[in-house]
Every structure is written in C-alpha cells, then in structure tokens.
Chain A
Amino acid sequence: MSDLLAARSQMAMSLAFHIIFAMVGIGMPVLMVLAEWRYTRTGDPLLLDLAKRWAKGTAILFAVGAVSGTVLSFELGLLWPGFMHFAGAIIGMPFSLEGFAFFTEAIFLSIYLYGWERVSRRAHLVAGVLVAVSGALSGVFVVIANAWMNAPRGFRVVDGLPVDIDPIAAMLNPAFGPQALHMTLAAYAGTGFAVAGIHAWFVLKQPKNRFHRHALSLALRMAVPAALLQPLSGDISAKLVARTQPAKLAAMEGHFTTQSRAPLHIGGWPDEATRTTRFAISIPGGLSFLAFGDFDAEVQGLDRIPEEDWPPVAIVHVAFQVMVGLGVFLAAISLWAAWLRWRRADFVHHPWLLRALVAAIPAGFIATEAGWIVTEVGRQPWIIQGVLRTRDAVTPMPGLIVPFLFFTALYVFLGVMVLYLLMRQMRHAPKLTSPGSG
C-alpha cells in the first residue's frame, strides 16, 4: 500500500467512523427534547423515563464522537499538511465557528445529562433545546468546509498559494446550502429510523409495552418528515453537482459519452476499460431531465475529461445507487407510516410495517456512508476541486500504513464496545404494560 493510499484510507476510515456518532449527536438531542417536552405537557412519567434513557445512550455515543472528532482535527494536518497550508486560512472560519458550536453543545449536554436533579425543569428543557441547536449547527459548519472543497470560492491562486482571501465568500460557496440541508436531513432520518426500528422490534415482541410504543411514535415524528424531504434535497444536490463537478456527476451515473437526451442508468456496473455501463436499466432522457430539468439537455460524459482526472467510476456509481435505493426505501416506509397515522391506525396491528422499520435500522447510516463516498471519492483526484490534487497535499512522512492499521483496529474495538454497551443499556428497558394507544 502506498503512503498516499494509506493516508486516504485512514482519512476515509476516520471520517466514516466519526460520521455515525456525529449523526447521533445531531439527531438524538431532538428526540430527548421531544420526549421531555411531551412529558411536561402530559405529566406521564413514562415519557420522562424515555428521555432519560435516550440521554444515557447519547452520552456513550457523544463521548466517542468527541474523541473521534478531536482525532480528525489533528489528522487534517497529520495526513494533509499541503491541504491545510493552502486552505487553513480560507476554511478556518467555518471551523472556528464549529469549534464554538461544539463547545456550546458539550456544555449544555453536560447540564442536560447530569443536571436532572440540579436545575429546574424548565432550565433543563432549555439546555436540551440548546444541545439540539448547537449540534445541528456544528454539523452545518463542518459541512460548509467540505462544500468549499467541492466548490472552492473566495480566493485567487498566485504562485501556487491563495491570495485575496475572502472567508465569507468561501463559506457562501454554491455547494454549502444543498450539502448542509442534505446532511442535516440525513442525520434526522438516519437516527430517527434507527431508534424507531429498535423500538419497533420491541413492539413486535411485547405488543402491550407502552414504553416502546411511545418511543416508536416519537422517533417517527422526526424520521418521517426528514426521509420524505431527503429525495427532494438530493435532487437539489444532484443539480448542483451537474453544474460544478461534471466528472463527479458522470461517475455517479456511469455516463461515459457526452450526449443530449442522456439516459438515466439505474443499477449496472460501469466498466472503465470499455467505457460502457453494463446491466443497467436505462431511462432515455432521464439524466438530462434530472440534471438540468430538460429532457434534451446535453450532459457531459467522462469522454470530455482527461482520463487521469477521472474519479474511480465504479465505486462512485455503486455508492450512488446504494444511497438512492435506500432513500427510496426510507421514503416509501415513511409514506406508509404517515398514511396509517392519518388513518389513526394502531401500528401494533401492522406487523409488516414494524418489520420494515426493523429492516430500516441501519438504512440511514448506510445511505449516509454511501453518500459521503459519492462526494469524496467522486471528487478525486482533487482534494480541492480543480485547485489542488490529493497527491500534492499528502504528508512526506513515510510508513503511514502503521497508523492506518492501528487506528482501524482501535476503531473496530471501540465500535464493538459501543454496540455492546448500548445493548446492555437496552436490556434494562422497563416492561410497562397497560392498555391504551401508543
């Protein structure tokens, strides 16, 4: 494994690990607050219990999110000093704001987690709301930095270094809105469905358990709207990629030849050697329409791009299919659940919905990982689109395979431990039963 490949793998692995905890850090506070707020409304102690349990799980995950995030801030320099030398001043602004958002989140989370008996009910709820807000903001700020890597703005390059730096223009790059929206929705949908699925599983086993029925219904309140909006937001993202990163779009779609009335490929396997995408379902004009809103628009294919500037086409295409597939699946379940809710049906009588929800436990997380693979691998060989190549940004330090293997082992161990501890927490769930709707 070359040092460059080791560095890329370590970055990818660290980010893929962190994003899970980051999503939970954005999504869970909303659920906790929702449960606690309903408790202040109804006075049902079960809701308070629920908020406390969710808070416990969040505490474990937050800690691992915080330490893996700390690792990332150093890794930007340890692995990509060339990138940070170039970009530090330009994207320092969102990272500084992110720093404050984390700080606020950590403070209010401490108050929330440990302050049940120490602050007033109202103050406690306010702390929870502030955790949710600052959690979402930290995600948004960090995504702004990433959006800048995809659509760099706010500087000029002279002699290989940036001049005339305008950090505000850099933050307001065209990719930031679509990416921030899409990521925030992903966090709500992903966490929401994971929590809903876990409680759906318990509802299947113990249909009378009020605790799990309440939990399920609260989690769906967050997950369903987010999952319904996600395909719309994804469409906005795709239109943006079509304008700013034609190579990425072509790789996502396995689209090799420039043409008008370009077909949309669903599934299939792009073969770089023969420059064709085989085994795909083709919808004539579909890509032109989705990318530019016009069935006859011309869509640039990979043939317009020098081959050395191609991203790994197959990886990007497959990852994109996985994300969209799961997105459609989640949206379909959401419609189903929304319909039943509108009909005032009791989910307990719809075991197939419950089973689908159980199946959806990992769906949002997998879709998110896949989406990030599209974004990051699809940007290759650039670390800053069109400005700086990944290979020119890597550290001169040799032997990078050693930290890569070490951190991988460490993170696998942490992942297993976190799962074990969460299961342990769940086994202690109460067995409250009573008639009445959930």
Chain B
Amino acid sequence: MNADTSILPTIIALVMAVAINGYLLLGGADFGGGVWDLLASGPRRARQRALIADSIGPVWEVNHVWLILVVVLLFSCFPSVFAIISVELHIPLTLMLIGVVLRGSAFTFRTYDAHHDDVQRRWGLVFSISSVLTPALLGICVGAIASGAVARASHLEGVSFAARFIAPWANPFVLTLGVLTLALCAFLAAVYLTYEAGEDVQLQDDFRRRAFGAAGVVFVAAFGALALSGTYAPNVRRTMGTFDVSFLLHLATGAFVVFAILALMRRSYRVARVFAAAHVSCFVWGWAFSTYPWILPPDVTFVAAAAPDAVLELILVALALGALVLAPSLVWLFRVFKRQPAAFDDLHEETTGEFHAPNPP
C-alpha cells in the first residue's frame, strides 16, 4: 500500500512497543499481585493480601488502559493484521477476555462486598485465578505470533478445526512463553511489593523470598523457550544467533536480572525495583527488535501491513496531543498514590472500609 520507504509504520511500531512496555511494567505487576494473592501463605497471609490490594487499588484501571491503546493502534494502523490475529487466535483471546472481565469485576466486588472472610475469600479466589490465567494467555498470543504460527495458519485452507484454531498456539514453545510472561509479572510484582511494604520487615522478607522464586521460574522458562524454539519457532531461533541490537538487549536483560537479585540480596529494595523494571523493559525491547521488521513473522512486515501514510500521520498527531494530556496526568496520579509507601493504614481505610455514615445529629 505504501512506498516501502515510509518511516511512519516504524514509528507507530515503536509507540506500540512503548505501550506494551508500559503495560507489562504496570499492568503486569498488577497481574503478578494477583498471583501472590493466590499463593499467599504463612502466618502473614492476611497482611500479604492486604498489602497487595492496597498497592493495586487506586491504579488498576489506569494500568490496563495500556492494553486498549495497543489494540486500538493495531486495528487503526495495521487493520489486516488485527483481522488475521483475531481470527486465528480467537480461542486464546476469548479466554483472555473472560480473564479480564472476571479479574476486574472480582477485584472491585471484593472491595465493596461484605467484609466477612468467606465472601472476601471467594472474590479473592476469582481475582487471583484470573490474574494467573490472563497474563499467561497474553503471553501465549504473543508467542504464537512470534513463532510464525499465526501467519502460517492464515494461509491454511480446508484443514480441521484443531489444526487451524488450536494447533498454532497449543505447542510447547508457545505455552512456555505463557509461563515466562506469568513468571515475569510475578517477579516484577514481588520486587515492587518489597518496596511497597515500607517499614514492615517481615513482609519485605516474604516478598523477597517470592522474588527469588519467581526469578528462578523466569530463568527456567526463558532457557526452556530457547531450547524449544529450534523445533517450534525456527525463525525466532535464527534471530537469537546474530549479533545485533536485539542480541545486546538480550544480554542486558540477563544482566539486569542479576543486578536485581544482587540488590534484593543486599535488601536495597529501591534499587532492586529499578533493575527489575529495567529487566522487564529490556525483555520487551529485545523481543521487539528481534521481531522487527515483521509484524506477523515470517511473512508480513510492518510496512506492508500499514494503513496509508495519511492515516498514520493523523494518528501520530493524535498520539502527540494525547501524550501532552496524559503525561502530566499520569505523573500526578503516581505522585498522589505512589510517592511514599507504607501509607498502608490510612489507605486501607479509604479503599476497603465501609463508608461510615455520620451519626444523626
């Protein structure tokens, strides 16, 4: 559709990578919080859950708008790709949506429902199970695209239902990427929570241990995916071997997780938080650079799939204007809610307390 030289599709692709990065750093940590809610254990179970709820409370809706931004950019700027992905990944996307719905509503219902333990636990269970499924399914969708299976499936004709709609995503490589995504979210959340725990040393230790565990799973899943890619995603494997930007980013990914773990060992939680975020970001960008210029590897490029330049130009203008409004608003939001941790008690009152009716005069 466009001259092959147009730079605009690449700029949009960069913006989408930024949004995915934002989603993983914020929304991903939300999901991870749900994982630790599910796995809360030991004598401080209730306190762990309360800390998680308070950290997520004010910001969860905002954290998930990043996903909508990605979807909207995808269908406005690469409409044919949006159509192909929606057809071929109908099943995992639908399951993911169910997760999104259950997670968001259960979290809110828990806040406003009765504060008896059993009611709270029931919503908590729905919330935490869907927090596990949703990011795993997201990882599966991204993995299926990266492995080239989605592009291949879109050329299939006259094959069985399973071959077209299930096989592309139900293979060991793609499923491992699902686990990897989930583990990244859990790692990120655990590290953030060590910091959010403020002065509470016991809670910090709880989440510090969990962060180590999650890092272990990230490690195993990452190398598992690498090993499996030879068979299931040769195109991914090929990009791993070449020395280029994405290779450097993969190295950085590895380095940052080591730094994060060292910082955790020294209990410098502030520093650990920064390194964990850097780790996850490098992960996203490493993936982005190794995929580029393909939007649907192995045969559709960003440029080939892009809407006409006239459309992309306008979208970029809208993005710029939107960013002008958003950036200061986001800064305000995070300054209000995330500046000092350990606002535990007063926040708890605000978010989960029943509204106390004033006494009749």
Minimum CB distance partner of A166 in chain B: B310
- On chain B, the number of residues with a Cβ less than 8 Å from chain A's Cβ atoms is 73
| A88 and B77 alpha carbons, distance in the complex (Å) | 7
B358 touching A49 by the CB < 8 A rule? yes
B87 touching A74 by the CB < 8 A rule? no
Q: Which residues of A contact B361 (CB under 8 A)?
A: 432, 434
| A108 and B331 alpha carbons, distance in the complex (Å) | 11
- Of the residues B90, B104, B319, B329, contact of A104 by C-beta under 8 Å: B329
Question: Which of B212-220, B248-256, B346-354 binds A?
Answer: B346-354
Q: Which residues of B contact A107 (CB under 8 A)?
A: 62, 326, 329-330, 332-333
B86 touching A78 by the CB < 8 A rule? yes
Q: Is A1 an interface residue (CB 8 A)?
A: no
Q: Which residues of B contact A398 (CB under 8 A)?
A: 161
- Shortest B62–chain A CB gap in Å is 5
| A95 and B82 alpha carbons, distance in the complex (Å) | 14
- Of the residues A59, A91, A410, contact of B108 by C-beta under 8 Å: A59
- Shortest B112–chain A CB gap in Å is 5
| A60 and B332 alpha carbons, distance in the complex (Å) | 23
- Of the residues A78, A93, A116, contact of B314 by C-beta under 8 Å: A93
Q: Which residues of B contact A430 (CB under 8 A)?
A: 357-358, 360
* Interface residues in B59-82 (C-beta closer than 8 Å to A): 59, 61-62, 64-65, 67-69, 71-73, 75-80, 82
- Of the residues B93, B105, B347, contact of A74 by C-beta under 8 Å: B93
Interface residue tally on A, bucketed by range:
35 or more
- Shortest A410–chain B CB gap in Å is 6
Asked if A102 meets B307 with Cβ closer than 8 Å, knowing A93-B318, A107-B329, the reply is no
- Shortest A49–chain B CB gap in Å is 6
Do most interface residues of chain A lie in helix, strand or loop, or is the interface mixed? Answer: helix
- Of the residues A73, A85, A93, A432, contact of B360 by C-beta under 8 Å: A432
Contacts between the two chains (Cβ within 8 Å), count: 223
Minimum CB distance partner of B322 in chain A: A100
- Shortest A78–chain B CB gap in Å is 5
Asked if A103 meets B112 with Cβ closer than 8 Å, knowing A71-B97, A85-B83, A116-B350, the reply is no
A99 touching B69 by the CB < 8 A rule? yes
| A98 and B332 alpha carbons, distance in the complex (Å) | 21
- Shortest A104–chain B CB gap in Å is 6
- Of the residues B58, B76, B108, contact of A88 by C-beta under 8 Å: B76
Question: Which of A62-70, A274-282, A318-326 binds B?
Answer: A62-70
Q: Is B202 an interface residue (CB 8 A)?
A: no
Q: Is B94 an interface residue (CB 8 A)?
A: yes
Q: Is B125 an interface residue (CB 8 A)?
A: no
- Of the residues B67, B93, B113, B357, contact of A78 by C-beta under 8 Å: B93
A56 touching B79 by the CB < 8 A rule? no
B58 touching A110 by the CB < 8 A rule? yes
A89 touching B76 by the CB < 8 A rule? yes
Q: Is B355 an interface residue (CB 8 A)?
A: yes
Q: Is B159 an interface residue (CB 8 A)?
A: no
Asked if A84 meets B104 with Cβ closer than 8 Å, knowing A93-B318, A110-B59, A433-B360, the reply is no
* Interface residues in A5-32 (C-beta closer than 8 Å to B): none
B113 touching A424 by the CB < 8 A rule? yes
B61 touching A99 by the CB < 8 A rule? no
Question: Could you list 6 further interchain pairs (A-B, Cβ under 8 angstroms) beyond the known A75-B97, A76-B75, A93-B311?
Answer: A63-B108, A77-B86, A85-B82, A95-B76, A407-B98, A432-B358
Q: Could you list which residues of chain B lie within 8 angstroms of chain A, going by C-beta atoms?
A: 57-59, 61-62, 64-65, 67-69, 71-73, 75-80, 82-87, 90, 93-94, 97-98, 100-105, 107-109, 111-114, 161, 165, 307-308, 310-311, 314-315, 318-319, 321-322, 325-326, 329-330, 332-333, 336-337, 346-347, 350-351, 354-355, 357-358, 360-361
Q: Nearest 3 pairs between A and B by C-beta?
A: A92-B76, A88-B79, A77-B86
